[in-house]
Amino acid sequence: MLRVKNLRVRIHGKAILDAISFCVQQGQTLCITGESGSGKSSLLRALNGLLPAEFERLAFHPKTSEPSELKGRWQGAPGLPGSRWVMQDPIAALNPKLPLGVSIGESVFSKSLSATELNDAVSEAMSDVELLPGLAVRRPSEVSLGQAQRACLARALVARPELIFFDEPLSALDAIVQKQVAATMRRIQMRYGTTFIIVTHDLGFAATYADHVLVLRNGKVEANQSAGNFFKSPESRYCEELLLAATELGGLPEVVPATQGPEVARSC
């Protein structure tokens, strides 16, 4: 549903991202990983038109909303229509002066719903992410980090996107909350068949979660494999090192569970 061909970002003549190509199927999870500074977050920003990127082709075909086709430079307002983005630091991603409910509701601003419709949509999204309805009137400083991240998740969800970008969605949270939020993410994906693109440096998380793994290194694609293949036989020497390091640190489970659904043809 999302197909990216030869994405390139150059800032001040220096290529930050170069020759990035990948695709994601409907309902699947793509984990983008790599060391710090490898361009993971820049890739998300480029895909949302927040960086001056050039595409040979960017095609996004959601089922319910308008498809986006793009060649060359990004034009118009930032953001792929039909997608939403959950950021790393939930406190920074929420306006400190606005109640959570208002922040969540802003996500469907363009649909110009009536007040009751908006209320219903917000409370449904909040119950989807297991937030108590009473929290809608709280401000970000009055809730825990986990609740704030759930509110960000609800903000993405209320727009019924078919694709959600996550930028290190769990790294601001402690282990227990990480587990809970990850479970919520999974439940949402099961329920709505949403496609996830997750930037993470936690290979353990990727191992249990991803259908497909994209490894970046210095702004280039180092590996682009299905998760099963990647964790058994990574494409390159660098990926082996990466996996080895993660195993030594205990971030990676010994046995990689095969969590993917039926094998889908991945011809990217």
Partner 1 sequence: MTFQTQAGFSEETDLKKTKHGKDLNRFLFRLGTMVLCVLAVAVTGFLLSPYAPNSPDFLNRLSPPSQAHWLGTDQLGRDVATRLLYGGIWSIGLAFLITFAGAVMGTMIGLVAGHFGRVTDVALMRVTDSFFAFPELVAAVTIAGVLGPNTANMVFALILVGWMKFARLVRSLGIDLVHRDFVVQARLNGLPSTLILWRHILPNIGPSLLVLWTNAWSRSILSISGLSFLGFGVQPPNAEWGAMLLDGKAYMQTAPYLMIFPGLAILSCVLAINLAGDRLRDLLGSNAVGTEK
Q: How far is the CB of 96 from partner 1 (least distance, A)?
A: 7
Under the binding rule (CB under 8 A), the answer on residue 98 touching partner 1 is: yes
Our CB check for partner 1 shows the closer of 175 and 265 to be 175
Query: Can you list the alpha helix ranges (DSSP code H) found in the chain?
Result: 40-47, 90-93, 100-105, 115-128, 145-157, 175-192, 203-209, 227-232, 237-249
Q: What are phi and psi of 250, to 5 degrees?
A: 85, 15
58 by DSSP, 3-state: which? strand
211 by DSSP, 3-state: which? coil
**Within 17-56, which residues bind partner 1 (CB under 8 A)?**
48, 50
**Within 211-240, which residues bind partner 1 (CB under 8 A)?**
none
Q: Pick from 14, 64, 75, 96: which binds partner 1 (CB under 8 A)?
A: 96
Question: In this structure, which amino acid lies at residue 129?
Answer: V
List Cα–Cα distances, 50 to 72, 76, 151, in angstroms: 15, 11, 23
Q: Pick from 40, 150, 155, 212: which binds partner 1 (CB under 8 A)?
A: 155
Q: Could you count the other beta carbons within 10 Å of the beta carbon of residue 237?
A: 9
Window contacting partner 1 (CB under 8 A); options: 11-19, 22-30, 115-123, 166-174: 166-174
List of residues 6+ apart from 202 with CB closer than 8 A:
170, 171, 251
Our CB check for partner 1 shows the closer of 201 and 212 to be 201
Q: How far is the CB of 114 from partner 1 (least distance, A)?
A: 18
Binding site for partner 1 (CB under 8 A): 48, 50, 77-79, 84-85, 87-89, 91-98, 103, 106-107, 109-110, 141-145, 155, 159, 171-174, 177
